[in-house]
Amino acid sequence: MTPRKVSPATTWIRRALVGMGVVMLAYAFAGVLGSRDVRLPYLRFLVLAPAIHELILMPSAIAIGVLIGRFVPVAVRSTVQAALFISVVITVVALPAVLGYGRAADLPSALPRNYGRGLIIILAAVWCVALGTVVTKQLRRRQTIPKGQS
């Protein structure tokens, strides 16, 4: 398999984005190192966030993409990818509430609901819609195939 030719514009955009990311990281490091108050927690975040992203999140995303590409039929692949993307976004947004960050014993109205159950209900709804979409696609596909061809 020969590698695809990348346009000069794409190369320039990639380099610009990497450059902006490096500048932002340098600015963040300079801000943390210049601060006297909370240097260690921010420095820990600035080191761990990229490390976790590069060592855990990206390899996981690539592995999931490979598995989807290998085992999910092309006709429903986009639906499964969309449902996975929506599930990840909802989970990331809901995770602090599910884990109870911000809950205080002296303030019972802070995080008063069962957020874990709510997350499960919403994820179930997302996947039910995805399943309905897949079934609808399959039924439409069968109806459009002329008789005698399968």
Encode 7-31 in three state secondary structure: CHHHHHHHHHHHHHHHHHHHHHHHH
pLDDT at residue 63 in the model: 94
Question: The pTM is what?
Answer: 0.67
pLDDT at residue 150 in the model: 55
CA gap 116, 13 in Å, rounded: 40
> Residue 100 pLDDT more than 90?
no
Is residue 40 very low, low, confident or very high in pLDDT (cuts 50, 70, 90)?
Answer: confident
> Residue 13 pLDDT more than 60?
yes
> Residue 141 pLDDT more than 80?
yes
Residues 6+ apart with CB under 8 A from 149: none
| 42-98 per-position pLDDT tens digit | 778 888 888 888 899 889 999 999 999 999 999 899 999 999 999 999 999 999 888
Is residue 38 very low, low, confident or very high in pLDDT (cuts 50, 70, 90)?
Answer: low
| SS3 state of residue 107 | strand
**In terms of Cα–Cα distance, which of 68, 69, 76 is closest to 132?**
76
